[in-house]
Every structure is written in structure tokens, then in C-alpha cells.
Amino acid sequence: MEKKGILKETYKSYVYENQNIFDLSFDMLIKLIFDKYQDLLNDTILISYLYDNISNFIDINDSYKIKLLSNSLFLKKCKGKDIVNILLTINNDEDKIKILLNKNVYPRIFNNHFLVFDTLKINFNNDESYIKLLNKLPSKAKIIVLKGIENEDLVVKILKQVDTIKEMELMLILRKFNNSNNKLLFLDKLTNPQYISEIIVSTKDKNYIQKNFDILTSNYKLSFLKSLTDKEKIYYIENGFYNLELIASLNSIDLLFRYFISLKSYDEQKVVIENVKSEEIKYELFKLMHLSYDKYMEMIFYLLKIINNKNIRLELTSLLNDKGIKKAIASNEKNIKEDLTEIEINPHVDPNITFGVELECSHKLNTSYIALGTLYNNWHFKEEGTVYNGVEITSPILNYTNEDMKRLKCICDFLNENGFKTTKDCGGHIHFGFDYIESITHLQLLYYIYVNTEEILSYMFNKEGTILREGAIANAPFINENILNLYGKYIQTYANNLKSFATLLGNAQKDRYASLNIKNAFSLDKNTIELRIPNGTLEFNELNLNIILFTRIMQKSKYFSHNTDDKKLLKELLFLSKDIPIEDKKNYLLDILFDEDYELKNIFYDRFETNYHLTKEKGLSKTRN
């Protein structure tokens, strides 16, 4: 039953002129409640009913509105904005102030920035009402109200009469003034040199500012001098007042170049370039400098850090005497023709699997390559902050085809031939297209294989004779414990489709820093599962093996999801989750992934054996969760 019906039934005997009071007009109902049936104001259903009809309050008598806003039950129902909206309909200033200062209303209004601002809609009938209210308000609320009053002269009048406010908050009001004379009226209230300087400079009266120039702080002195004409600036430049910053602010290019050339110090010229706003002019000034080779290179690298204009950045990189830079620039030409080296690729990798590589490495000219942007138009140079002189080369989306793998080898050859090196901090991340995953079962089996052999794979995914980098502890920690706990607790309950299952797996790994990162799955710009465990490498053969190994896991998990009748392989699959010696488990994994492909089995067998024993010899922990 609706509230009105409940109230009519509950208060059958409450009638007026043979009608139940709840059948009367709303303003008549309010009148009767306050004049005759005040006991009803303790009924929570009635209070709720009145709140539901709050839009009708505009027509009721002000005295009833005031009484209603004094009712604690009604106030609990009201939002702060409701209170303000009711106040907007009250005429008497004293009543408005009384309500605003009510102990149950005051904190709800004046602790909320936006509600304080809404009180400005409450038009007081005289200025004294503003002053009376403001003197009762906390400082922050006082400032918000004053800033919201559009009549600047009224604000000045009120400011002169309200209790003292903090200097910082006074500045918030003065900054809103358009009339400089109004600002100056309160200059003697300020003690902070920055505030005093700001008010003086904001007048834009040159004579007044020059008269008070000596009391300005350094930043405001410079700000004022920059606002002068070139002719006026020359006087200060010639007399050594902020000459470098003023030279940079000259509007005349001829004057700027003349004064720039006159500077004898490299450091002084660099300061001017730093302060010039135009990137084109920065570059032209650089061309005027006469520098040693070291300073020349230093300046190029500096400009590459601060200039965004692509054409200028390309010109700067071309100035570097580096054959790799020149070749990289040439590779981006539209009509370039290049014969790619023929290679053999593994015929068993499904070409429908897409992937992309992130080649982390180091180069002494890393900023130049990053400035260049691309290699062969669609391989990107990016900043790599985790590596000293770091640069990351990211591929476009690739397939395991002869053409794409030849291009990958071409990139690796370029990097190796032109001074790029991997360091102990480099990772060899590879993204694989998540659209290859068909179902929950497919993804479950992929994770089943991965998490149960994660330590084994950490040895197999790295070149024979290497150990997992220390940085993997933070940037690619093992996921097996988190994922296995997830399998046991939640998956059967919550995962009813592939997307929800992938989301559960992503939540279990906490963030993207995991040996296998699924956080990108189903994202619009990068729908991938990211392998982060391998060390960085620029060797094509090692990259190729890592791609083969993970695609084999993807393909085998797909095979098992379709062929539950393959008892032999399923039996071997079960051994992966058993608590057996790691070397035995490694053999089961190799049998599952590579069947009769003994060449690949031997390669990954050797990777494991060498890296596993090397890790044990160095006494490193096998777990990296």
C-alpha cells in the first residue's frame, strides 16, 4: 500500500469538514498538521510522505517551512540541497539566517563547498544580512560566499565590515576583483611579499609598478619586465637586470638573435634557449651556437628531451653521426625496398596466433632513437625507464608467417649491428592474441599447464646458460600460488563465461606485474595475454624459441579442450599437478608439448638442465611469488 493510503487508514479519525485530512490539498494538510495535529510529526511514515512532496513546499506558509526545518526527523530525510531549495522560497532574512545557523543545519551546509555556493541563490533583502551571516561562518565558507557574490562593490563593503579573515583567503577574493583600485584598498592588510607583489603587478599600471619596483619579489619583477615592449626591455638588458630571461622574451627575432650571439658562455646561451617558448626558435638558436663535439652532442640530446615537433626531432637525430640513426631514418621512407634474409620457421606453429614483441635494451643514443619514433614505419622506439640508457622496440601485430618472422629477424639484425645491447635489467615480454582462446576450458587448461610448471618454464624460456633476472621478482613474479588458490575457491562459483573467468584470473594477479599477465584480455586496444618471464634478448633464434614454446602451450591446451578422449596425453597432463621431482615433471611437460619433435625437446631439455643447475649453484630461490 502507498504511503498516503497507509496514513489515511492509520488516521481515519483525523478529518476536516467531513474529509480525511490526507484527501485535502497539500498546503491545507500542512496547516492542519502544524496547527492542530502536531503529534503526527513523530510519525516516520508521515515525515517520509512530506519529504516525497517537497516540491509542493513553495506554496505553503513560511512559518510552516521554518517549523518543518526544525523537525529532526524531517532533517534526517533531507539532503543538504533540499534544505537550500526550501530556504530559497522563504522571504524573511532573519528566518533564513536562523535556519542556516541551526545546529542541525549548519554543519550540513557549511562543510560542503558546493552547498555553501548554493546559498548565494538565497537573495538577502539587505547588505546587513550578508554581514550578519558571514560573521557567523567559518573562514572557508565565508570565502566561498564572498567569491560567489557578483557585485564587486558589495563585496568590498562587506569585506570592510566582516571579522578578520586569513591573508591567504583574502587573496582568493582579491584575485576575483576586476577593479584594481578595489584590490589596492586592502593592500595594507597584506604582509606576504608574494601577495603584495601580485596585487601591485595586477594593476597593470606601469608607472605605479615602476614606482614600487624595488619591493616586488624576483619572480614578479621578471614578470613585469617581460610585459614591457622590446624597446623598454633593452634598457634593463643593457643594465644587467634579468638579461638572459629578458633576451628570451624579446618579440623581435632580429634583436633576439643579436643578443644571443653576443653571449659568450655556453651556459648562458642554454638558459636563453630554455626560456624561449617557440620550439622552432629554440632550434634556430641552436644552429647559431659554436660548440665543441661534446657540447654539440649534449645540446642535441637536451633539445630532444624538450622539443615535441616531429620534424625538428627528425632533423636533430639526423645530425648525430651514427650509422644506425641514418639507417633507421632511411627505413621509414615510403618507397624503401629491402631484400629480407630467408629463414626457416617451425611448421607446427598455428599462423592464426597473433603476437607482438617488446625488445627492451640499452643504447648510448637511446634518446635519439626514441625521438626518431619508428623503425620501418611500424616498429616503435619507446622510453624504457627500468634500464640504463633504456629503449624499448615494440612490434606491430605479427603472425607466425615467413614474412613476419623475416621482418623480426631483420629488426634483431639491425639492433645487433648498431650498438643495441641487453642488460641484466632487460625483460623479453611477448604479447599473444587473446582472441585465439576459444573457451573457459581452453583458458583453464592453458593456466593449468602454466601454473603447475611455472618454475620449469622459467628455465625453459631463457637462453641456455642464463639465469632469471633479478628484476623478475618485482616485474614478473610467479603467479602459481594466487592462481591455484583461485581455482579452489571461486572459479566454479563465479566464472560463467570466458570474460568473467579472464577477469577472475586478472584480479588474482593483483596488477600487470606478473609472469603471465592477463589484465589486457578483452581490452579494446590490446586484447592479449602477456608473457613477462623471459629475460631480454635481441637474438632472433632465442626469441623464436620463446614464441614456439608459448604458442605450443596455447595450441596444446586448445587440443585438450577438444580431445578429452586422448587418454595417454591426459594421463601425462595429470602428472603436472602432482608433487613429483621437478626433473620428472619437466619430462612430462616436454612429452605433452612436443610429442615426437625430438629436436625441440632436446633444445628445451638443455635449456632447463643448464639453467636449473646454474640457478641452484648460485643459491637463488626457486620461488619468486
- Cβ neighbourhood burial of 57 (10 Å; 0-12, 13-18, 19+): buried
For residue 470, give every residue at least 6 positions away whose Cβ sits within 8 Å of its Cβ, in sequence order, or none. 424
pLDDT attached to residue 334: 65
What stretches of 379-523 adopt beta strand conformation (E)?
379-383, 390-394, 398-399, 430-433, 516-517
Query: Rounded to an integer, what distance in angstroms lies between the CA atom of residue 136 and that of residue 134?
Result: 5
Cα 459 from Cα 481, distance rounded (Å): 18
Cell numbers linked to 329: 631514418
Give dist(CA 529, CA 533) in Å, integer: 12
Q: Which residues 6+ apart lie within 8 Å of 600 measured at CB?
A: 346, 548, 594
Instruction: State the residue for C-alpha cell 646458460.
Output: 465
For 94-121, the DSSP string reads: HHHHHHHTSTTTHHHHHT-HHHHHHGGG
User: What is the pLDDT, as a whole number, of residue 599?
Assistant: 94
- Of residues 77 and 552, the one with the higher pLDDT is 552
Distance separating alpha carbons of residues 444 and 455, to the nearest angstrom: 18
Mean pLDDT of the chain: 88
The count of other CB atoms within 10 Å of the CB of residue 424 is 12
Query: Side chain identity at 249, as an amino acid letter?
Result: S
> How does residue 623 score in pLDDT terms, banded at 50, 70 and 90?
very low
pLDDT of res. 540: 97
| 597-608 residue pLDDT tens | 899 999 999 999
Exposed, middle or buried: residue 9 (CB in 10 Å: 0-12, 13-18, 19+)? Answer: exposed
Q: CB neighbours (10 Å) of residue 482?
A: 17
496 pLDDT higher than 90: no
CA distance 129 to 138: 16
Taking 90 as the threshold, does the pLDDT of residue 465 lie above it? Answer: yes
Does residue 486 register a pLDDT over 80?
Answer: no
Per-residue confidence (pLDDT) for residue 595, from 0 to 100: 84
- Apex 351 CA angle, 349 and 352, nearest 5: 120
pLDDT tens per residue across span 522-567: 998 889 999 999 999 999 999 999 999 999 999 999 999 998 888 8
Q: What is the 3-state secondary structure (H, E, C) of 393-460?
A: EECCCEECCHHHHHHHHHHHHHHHHCCCECCCCCECCEEEEHHHCCCHHHHHHHHHHHHHCHHHHHHH
Q: How far apart are CA 76 and CA 479, in angstroms?
A: 49
Q: pLDDT-derived band of residue 405, with 50, 70 and 90 as boundaries?
A: very high
Give the tens place of pLDDT for each residue, 224-272. 999 999 999 998 898 887 789 999 999 999 999 999 999 989 999 999 9
pLDDT bin (cut points 50, 70, 90) of residue 1 is low
pLDDT number for residue 154: 85
Q: Which of 382, 392, 427, 430 is nearest to 551 (CA)?
A: 430
Number of Cβ within a 10 Å radius of residue 199: 21
Query: Do 495 and 504 form a contact (C-beta atoms < 8 A)?
Result: yes
**pLDDT bucket at 619, cuts 50 / 70 / 90:** confident
Percentage of the chain lying above the pLDDT 90 cut? 52
Helix 279-287 / helix 293-306 crossing angle, nearest 10 deg: 180
pLDDT at 293: 66
What does the angle CA 285 – CA 290 – CA 291 come to, to the nearest 5 degrees? Answer: 110
Tens-digit pLDDT profile for residues 258-309: 999 999 899 999 999 999 999 999 999 998 887 776 787 889 889 998 999 9
Q: How far apart are the C-alpha atoms of 60 and 80, rounded to whole Å?
A: 20
DSSP label of 340: P
φ, ψ of residue 360 in degrees (nearest 5) = -80, 135
Does residue 66 have a pLDDT over 50?
yes
- 399 DSSP β-pair partners: 354
Give the residue among 39, 102, 38, 36 at the shortest CA–CA distance from 69.
102
| Pairwise CA distance, residues 356 & 375, whole Å | 15
143: confidence class by pLDDT, cuts 50, 70, 90:
confident
CA-to-CA dists, residue 508 to 475, 483, 519, 534, angstroms: 16, 6, 10, 21
Cell 533564513 belongs to which residue?
Answer: 96
What is the DSSP secondary-structure string of 8-69?
HHHTTT-EETTEEGGGS-HHHHHHHHHHT-GGGGG-HHHHHHHHHTGGGGGGS-HHHHHHHT
Q: What would the mean pLDDT of 89-112 be, rounded to a whole number?
A: 82
Angle between helix axes 127-134 and 93-100 (nearest 10 degrees) is 10
Q: Is residue 342 helix, strand or coil?
A: coil
**Structure confidence at residue 92 as a pLDDT band (50, 70, 90):** confident
